[in-house]
């Protein structure tokens, strides 16, 4: 009887401790986790700042574009797993390390420049990785790291090439004090000079009427034969009326911020470049994907970035050192030096409240 009682107490004790272990989570390793990084196995990891208050919406647009492309292009059986991060570059690097450890065969991201810079300075990049922005410093990047994105500095270079192809030799640049505007101005100036052109002068953007009239008079006197606006749409619209119509005006996609006819009228005559996703929505390659025209242009640009990022990754997964060119929705994409994918958008012009495509050979540009 005593032995039976002792056995009963031991059994009760054992059941109690098992219940306590489960309740306190010590045995939680036996339960599935909702954390994507814990889902071990081969996959494509998508590293995006979805938790960011400043760029979370753009990151979600990229996510949706990637998922849309994964439905259309089923060249791989690898699942796509999204790893949500915040703004902190250190946290992004940690998330990257966890993604690779959990079985990522390829990584898309990071999206923010600070995070790309931090990652490129480590030795963690051991699988093909497509960063969606350029590092902040122009230095060598890890062999497995590739760079692609919506950097408008590259658009400024393309605009400089377009101007030189039309025998424009003397450029006038209008830029603000904003860091991005300064980078645009420098990119245009370097490329224009590299192709034999001369930067005649650079004007600082201002809303001061006397200063704008001085700029107008200088242009009327034949001071330059081409104008480059390193400005966003708001500033470009404010300054446009002072630039006249005799000198060709070039800009980047930054001036195309709305499909509103009035906004387009205010930029009448300005040449710019932008992605096929926005300029040729009826093109068969663009129509392959679902779209939401009610979303703003910024959202659509990042959505298109996600689509092309996934397509590039299909090339990288094939293991080729020279990825085939892609007729993408963000532009014609080729692999350049230093593992940097180059995106060539298409030229257009604001004309009477509409956007007119210039077509191949940019035949619509003034001679």
Which carries the bigger pLDDT value, residue 360 or residue 27? Answer: 360
Which carries the bigger pLDDT value, residue 261 or residue 64? Answer: 64
Selection from 333, 182, 354 nearest residue 265 by Cα: 354
Angle 17-23-26 from CA coordinates, rounded to 5° = 80
Asked whether the beta carbons of 222 and 168 are under 8 A apart, the reply is no
Q: What is the domain count for the chain? A: 2
Query: Is residue 202 domain-shared with residue 329, that is, in the same domain?
Result: no
φ, ψ for residue 131, nearest 5 deg = -75, 140
The arithmetic mean of pLDDT across residues 247-258, rounded, is 95
Query: Is residue 159 domain-shared with residue 121, that is, in the same domain?
Result: no
Residue 133: domain span: 32-147+279-344
pLDDT at 337: 85
Query: Is residue 293 domain-shared with residue 263, that is, in the same domain?
Result: no
Residue 204 lies in a domain: yes
Please name every residue paired with 183 in a beta bridge, in sequence order, or none if there are none: none
Residue 7 lies in a domain: no
Please name every residue paired with 108 in a beta bridge, in sequence order, or none if there are none: 46, 130
Query: Is residue 160 domain-shared with residue 264, that is, in the same domain?
Result: yes
Question: Could you tell me the pTM of the whole model?
Answer: 0.85
Query: Is residue 174 domain-shared with residue 127, that is, in the same domain?
Result: no
pLDDT at 285: 86
Strand locations in 126-236, DSSP E?
129-131, 145-147, 170-175, 198-204, 226-230
Query: Is residue 134 domain-shared with residue 245, that is, in the same domain?
Result: no
Q: Pairing relation of β-strands 271-274 and 346-351?
A: antiparallel
- pLDDT above 60 (res 17): no
Query: Is residue 296 domain-shared with residue 332, that is, in the same domain?
Result: yes
Query: Is residue 181 domain-shared with residue 101, that is, in the same domain?
Result: no
Residue 131 lies in a domain: yes
CATH number for the domain that contains residue 293: 3.40.50.2300
Query: Is residue 65 domain-shared with residue 52, that is, in the same domain?
Result: yes
Selection from 92, 81, 22 nearest residue 52 by Cα: 92
Query: Is residue 98 domain-shared with residue 221, that is, in the same domain?
Result: no
Sign of dihedral through CA atoms 155, 161, 164, 166? negative
C-alpha 367/C-alpha 363 separation (Å) is 9
pLDDT in tens, 49-106: 999 999 999 999 999 999 999 999 877 778 999 999 999 999 999 999 999 999 999 9
Residue 18 lies in a domain: no
Q: Looking at residue 340, what DSSP letter applies?
A: B
Task: Classify 183 in phi/psi space as left (phi over 0), alpha (psi -120 to 50) or beta.
Answer: alpha
Selection from 120, 152, 131, 289 nearest residue 233 by Cα: 152
- pLDDT above 60 (res 4): no
Sorted by sequence, the CB contacts under 8 Å of residue 48 that are 6+ apart come out as 59, 60, 62, 63, 82, 83, 84, 85, 109, 110, 111
Question: What is the spatial order of strands in the sheet that 326-327 belongs to?
Answer: 326-327, 332-335, 341-344
Residue 84 in 3-state DSSP? strand
Query: What Cα–Cα distance (Å) separates residue 71 from each residue in 68, 129, 142, 233, 311?
Result: 5, 21, 30, 35, 11
Query: Is residue 270 domain-shared with residue 285, that is, in the same domain?
Result: no
Query: Is residue 185 domain-shared with residue 209, that is, in the same domain?
Result: yes
Residue 21 lies in a domain: no
pLDDT at 159: 97
State the DSSP H helix or E strand holding residue 43, giving kind and residue range, or none if neither.
Answer: strand 43-48
C-alpha 327/C-alpha 300 separation (Å) is 18
pLDDT at 26: 30
pLDDT in tens, 207-249: 889 989 988 888 877 788 999 999 999 999 999 999 989 899 9
Residue 9 lies in a domain: no
Residue 81 lies in a domain: yes
Residue 12 lies in a domain: no
């Amino acid at each position: 009887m005593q032995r039976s009682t002792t056995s009963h107490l031991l059994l009760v004790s054992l059941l109690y401790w098992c219940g306590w272990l489960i309740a306190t989570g010590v045995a939680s390793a036996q339960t599935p986790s909702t954390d994507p990084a814990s889902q071990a196995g081969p996959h494509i990891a998508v590293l995006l700042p979805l938790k960011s208050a400043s760029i979370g919406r753009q990151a979600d647009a990229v996510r949706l574009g990637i998922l849309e492309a994964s439905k259309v292009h089923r060249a791989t059986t690898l699942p796509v797993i999204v790893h949500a991060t915040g703004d902190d570059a250190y946290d992004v690097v940690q998330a990257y390390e966890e993604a690779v450890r959990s079985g990522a065969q390829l990584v898309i991201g990071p999206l923010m420049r600070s995070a790309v810079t931090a990652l490129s300075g480590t030795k963690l990049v051991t699988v093909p990785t497509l960063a969606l922005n350029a590092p902040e410093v122009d230095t060598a990047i890890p062999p497995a790291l590739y760079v692609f994105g919506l950097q408008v500095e590259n658009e400024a270079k393309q605009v400089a090439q377009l101007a030189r192809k039309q025998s424009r030799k003397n450029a006038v640049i209008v830029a603000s004090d904003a860091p991005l505007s300064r980078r645009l101005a420098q990119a245009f100036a370097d490329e224009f000079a590299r192709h034999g052109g001369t930067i005649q002068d650079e004007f600082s953007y201002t809303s001061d009427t006397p200063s704008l009239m001085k700029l107008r008079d200088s242009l009327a006197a034949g001071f330059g034969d081409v104008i480059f606006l390193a400005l966003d749409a708001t500033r470009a619209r404010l300054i446009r009326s002072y630039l006249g119509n005799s000198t060709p005006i070039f800009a980047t996609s930054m001036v195309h911020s709305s499909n509103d006819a009035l906004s387009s009228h205010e930029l009448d005559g300005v040449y710019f470049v932008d992605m096929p996703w926005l300029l040729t929505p009826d093109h068969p390659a663009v129509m392959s994907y679902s779209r939401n025209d009610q979303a703003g242009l910024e959202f659509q640009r990042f959505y298109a970035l996600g689509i092309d990022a996934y397509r590039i990754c299909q090339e990288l997964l094939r293991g080729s050192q020279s990825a085939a060119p892609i007729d993408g929705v963000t532009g014609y994409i080729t692999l350049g030096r230093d593992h940097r994918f180059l995106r060539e958008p298409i030229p257009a012009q604001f004309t009477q409240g509409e956007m007119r495509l210039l077509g191949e050979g940019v035949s619509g540009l003034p001679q």
